[in-house]
Amino acid sequence: MVKKDYRPRLSVEISDDQYRDLQRLLPHGYKRQVFSLIIDDVIRLTQKHKERFIAAIMHKVITLEDYLSIDLEDKKDGDDK
């Protein structure tokens, strides 16, 4: 039985440096908003590109800056820029 107030959470271990930087750089209350948007993009790109997308991240072939610029829309009229 799922409780009415239950909200799934993502818990990952980060380094002390990562924690300090996030605390310093992201205003209070922004972490959930920022990481929720990143998670949505990761889900969408993984659905579209399957294992190739995850492999590219894991092997540092692409970074966040790279996949922020990936066109998520299907190309139309033969435009494959």
54: Cβ contacts below 8 Å, ≥ 6 apart: 46
**Tens of pLDDT along the chain (81 residues)?**
567 889 899 999 999 999 999 999 999 899 999 999 889 988 988 998 888 988 988 998 888 777 766 664 555 544 444
Cα dihedral 37, 42, 45, 47 in deg (nearest 10): -110
Q: Where are the domains of the chain?
A: 18-68
Confidence (pLDDT) at 13: 97
* Cβ 48 vs Cβ 72: under 8 Å: yes
